[in-house]
Every structure is written in C-alpha cells, then in structure tokens.
Amino acid sequence: MKREHQDAVDGGGSWHPEAAAMEDEKGKGTMGAEEDGGDDELLAALGYKVRSSEMADVAQKLEQLEKAMGSSTAANDDALVSHLASDTVHYNPSDIATWVDNILWELNASPTPLAPRPPSPPPPPPPAVPLQNHHHQRHFDLPLAGPEQSTITTVDLPTAPRRLADNYDPKPLPAPHAAAGRIVYGSDAQSVVAPSPRDRKRMKVCSSPPSSSSTTDAAKSDKALPVVVVDTQEAGIRLVHALMACAEAVQQESLKAADALVKQITVLNTSQGGAMRKVAGYFAEALTRRIYRPQPHRGVGCSSRDSAALDNILHQHFYESSPYLKFAHFTANQAILEAFAGCRRVHVVDFGMRQGLQWPALLQALALRPGGPPAFRLTGIGPPQPDHSGALQEVGWKLAQLAGTIRIDFRYRGLVAASLADLEPHMLLDPNTGDCSDGGEDEEPEAVAVNSVFELHGLLARPGALEKVLGTVRAVQPRIVTVVEQEANHNGGTFVERFTEALHYYSTMFDSLEGGALAADAACGGGRRDQALSEVYLGRQICNVVSCEGVERTERHEALAQWRARMGRAGFDPVAIGSNAFKQASMLLALFAGGDGYRVEEKEGCLTLGWHTRPLIATSAWRVAASAGGDPIAAAAAAAL
C-alpha cells in the first residue's frame, strides 16, 4: 500500500525540477529520518508531513474517500458541489490524514444542505497533492507552489450537456489542443459538451514561483483571466461544417437545431477575416431570415421590385469594382456588332436597361464602321420605379446626347414592365409602321438583336413565363439573341444541394472581389467603397437563393448546359462567338486591376469568365432556327459569320 501511494504521487503528473532539487538537498538526513519512522521523503519533498508509519492508514482513508465520492447520489453530488462552489475557502493542510478525515465527515453529513465545517487553523499550507481517480484517470499537471500559500478554487461545471435538438444532435469537432498548464475556454458555450453530474471535478489552481509555469500571471491576480487559444484555420473548417449542418437542419425542418447552429456560426465567424468572414455573414443572415421569417419578408436583404432603385445603384458599383459586367457587355456587343455587319437599319431590344452602361461602347463601334454608321434604334425595358420617376427616359436622353456627338441617327423608346412575361411582339416593333421606320417599300427592314444580361433566370420562378418570353422573341425574328447568365446551378435539387452550390459559387465571387480591390488599392486607391457595395449586391442574391421559396425566389441561376437545352426546346440554334471576341476579352482583363486571377475560356462556342479555375458567368449567342419559322436570309447571314 505504501509503494502504491508513492507511485500515485510520482506518476500522477509531470516531473518538476524544483522537486528534484529539494529531494537531492535532503540527502541522507531524510533517508535516516524515514528509517526511524519520520516523514515520508517523497511527500516531504512536496511539502507534506506524513509519517511513514501512517502511510497505510492514509491510503486506506483515501480509498474510503474515493468510494464515498463514487457512490454518492445525484442529490448528494449537487449539494456537495453547491457547497464547494460557495465563497468558503478550503485550505490544504499539510496533515493529509486530518484533511481526508474532514472530507469524509462532509460526505457523511446530511446533504441538504451541506453546512460547512468550521476549519481549524491550518499550519502553513504547502501545495495541494493532485488526487488520482482510478475510475476516470484524469490528472492535472500543476506547477509546484512556493512556500508562501496555496489555495483550492472549486469550479462548478454545468450540470448537463446542452442538446441542440431532440432529433438533431451534431457531433462537435475536436477543440484545439492547448499547451500544458493552460486552460482553454471555448468561444461558444454551445460547442462544449458539459459533463454529467457524476463527472464534475474540482479544479485546483495553485500559486507558484515566478519561473515555474505559464500560469504564474493568473495566480498572481485576484481573479485568473481565461487563456483563449484560437486556431483560425480549424475555426474556418468548423464554420463551414456549421453552415452545412444548419442547412441540413433547415431542410429537415429542425428549427431548434438550426437556431442553435446559427448562433454558433455567428461566434465562429468572428475568428475569420477577409472574404470568408463576409460571405459566411451573408449566408448566416439568409439562414436567419429563413428560420425566423421576419415580416415583411422582402426587405433590404432580398431582391424585390420595391427596391429597384437600390438595385440599380448596387448594380453600378458592381460594374465598377469587377470585370464581370464589363465582360458581359463587351462579349454581347461583339456578337451584336458582327451580326449587324452590312445592315443600314438596326434595332436592339434590351431586356434590362438599368443605367444603359452597355450601349455607349456599341454606339462608338458603329460610328467607326466603314461606310458610315447605321440608323440605330434602342428599346430599353425596365421595372417600374417606386417613386414613379422617368429613369428609363433619362437614360435614353443621355444616350441620345452621345449619339448626337458622334453623328448617329438614334431613336429610343423606354418600356416599363413589371415582368418580361408581360411583353407582346407588337410592343417591340416600330410603334408606327411595324418593321419600317419610314413606311417606304424600298426601305431595308431592321436587323433586330435581343440582349439579356442576368435577366432570364428570374423568369423561372413562374411556370411558363420563360417559354412565353422566348416565344415573343421568336416572333420578332431577331438576327441574334445574346444571353449572359451566372454559371451556377441554384434552381434544382434539394435545399442542401442548392445551399452547397451557392456557398461555393459566392465564396469564389467574394474572393475575386477581394483580389480585385487589393490590386485597385495598390494601383490607384479608392476601390474599397465599390467593393463594399458590390458585396451588398451579391449579398442580396445570397439572401434570395437561401431564404426565399416559391415565386419570391427569383435568383434561379442555371448552368450553360441547362440554358442550351432550354433554348433548343424554344426553337433557337446556337451561334458561335468568334475568336476575335475571345482575344479582345482577354486583352480587356489584362487592363483590369487584379486581372491575373481571372480566366476567359471558350466552351462550345460560348465564352465564360471565372476566377482561377471556377467559371462564374457565361455569354452565349442564339438565332431562331429555320425549323421554328426563322428568317432563312438572317439564318444564312448568321451562319456565314
């Protein structure tokens, strides 16, 4: 029994150099004292006075203490821990036998309530000996205490683990390992599984000499400060896992689990920086809106018709801060310019007029065409403004001024439509004489081009709306139809699949904005404001993809292969965008700040723009198929391009 107790003292923790030095200094004198029935040398080296003749009795009492603590009922445990967590200060006497007797007396006393026993004046307290629990095998490596004082601080841990939901209990990821002698406090209480009442332990915090351990500063203060250890990489992984777990909880309609996970996401997101923190914040906001569904559901965070003016402002900042809209306008204009080759009268129908940022470049290109510019007519379509302002007419007036300076015969007409599905073919033709501007029989008919940049995917929210719009386009007999859409799939599968695709897509988009802003700041500065508003522009899309359903979910992006199938069913054939557009688009990106990360690729006659290896938007061109009633002359001219 004596040797077992010595092994418990020696093996219960790490070896301390101070203890070894004290043991060497005692030498033969200590050995002789032990042989004469004096104090045990190993415990004496730690500052405890236990006679060798009393070792067997102390060991027996320790076993009794262990059995008493292990066999206590839950009520006794609660009462004991409540007593130990009070303001009473418990000293560590050097007389271990008396100390064990006191604890046994407290355990055997009435547990409700457990009245504290008045402590007898203790001798100068040496440091505490860590007790070894044979059932749980939990040891604490504590620094040696100095000769001044030593106290025991009792910590009452939570009584039961918090479950996220009755039917959804995700397993927490392992916390980062802390250095020896340090206490790691988690950043979120929900990520810590609390022990059961049976597993409550008293944690001993002892003072130590200045050179003994990293807990010296905490021991010197009246109240030890927690040591927070944060691993940003692991926290990022946990953040992504929490986002995915929350999406799964939403899909399973486990709102209690989703609520807990959203709160955990908010805490984990504080350790992140850059694009990851921003995109995770927008997804957390979108999940929160889906869980709580605040009224009114449509607001600043989601795209809606009532916020068309704000959409236009954010759209313009997105145009300035990134090359995506510039690429879309340039590639579409190049396809339209090639389709209008040799035509004297041209007509462009723009499904999303906004500020008209696409058309000054096309007007200038037509003005430089050999043989002189054609007569140019533009029909701009836009949603109604909440203030009933004539925003579309103001855009047309500015374009007319530009056309006058470069001597182009320009006509403009603005159409306000709540939905593109409300359009009819006669609305897109000349309001006076159909296809002909002057009504003359010898007049050349207009060459029509229909342009859509990020507009068609919104029609997928209403069944049959896209088919009606494409039918209207087909009736106009355009020479070319240009379509620019996001290269993503946010309109199919389960909610978790849509959420995962959106998380990957917008994470890449935010990374590209971050890279472009850094390059712009290094070049000329002033790119952060445009970047911030561009992030709001994308954040509204995230909110719509994640939090909305039914007709309210208008951001139903589909990949290029899906659009190819839809256009084919509607009676359109693809038109390959020439290699000239590919080369000029690549040159355009080279001039853009931060263009090193952007990639232009040609894919089956279409052009895509992405960030590194991920395509993000795609431009395609189409014409009415001859089998669908298309103009054979226009089809032959488009095929010859």
CA 25 to chain centre: 60
Q: Residue 455's closest CA among 481, 430, 484?
A: 484
- d(CA 108, CA 577) in angstroms, rounded, equals 89
High-pLDDT (> 90) share of the chain, %: 44
> CA-CA distance, 14 to 181, in Å (whole number)?
11
pLDDT given at position 359: 97
Averaged pLDDT, 532-540: 94
Residue 617's nearest CA partner among 458, 456, 454, 487 is: 487
More confident residue, 454 or 34: 454
Most confident among 162-166, 382-386, 423-427 (mean pLDDT)? 423-427
Q: Where are the alpha helices (DSSP H) in 293-323?
A: 308-321
Average pLDDT over residues 53-73: 69
114 vs 335, higher pLDDT: 335
User: What are 607-631's pLDDT values in tens digits?
Assistant: 999 999 999 999 999 999 987 665 5
Band (pLDDT 50/70/90 cuts) for residue 152 is very low
Q: How far apart are CA 257 and CA 165, in angstroms?
A: 5
Tell me the C-alpha distance between 254 and 259, whole Å: 9
> Is 370's pLDDT higher than 60?
yes
Residues composing the chain: 641
Least confident of 21-35, 36-50, 454-468: 21-35
Least confident of 31-35, 36-40, 229-233, 600-604: 31-35
Q: What is the pLDDT at residue 79?
A: 52
- Listing DSSP states for 431-491 in one string gives TTTBT-SS--TTSPPPEEEEEEES-GGGGGGSTTHHHHHHHHHHHH--SEEEEEEESS--S
| pLDDT for the residue 334 | 94
Provide the whole-model pTM.
0.64
Q: How confident is the model at residue 129 (pLDDT cuts 50, 70, 90)?
A: very low
Torsion-angle region of residue 176: left (phi > 0), alpha (psi -120 to 50) or beta?
beta
Q: How confident is the model at residue 249 (pLDDT cuts 50, 70, 90)?
A: very high
pLDDT at 345 > cutoff 90: yes
Nearest to 552 by CA among 258, 293, 285, 255: 293
Sign of the CA dihedral with 108 first, then 109, 113, and 117 last:
negative
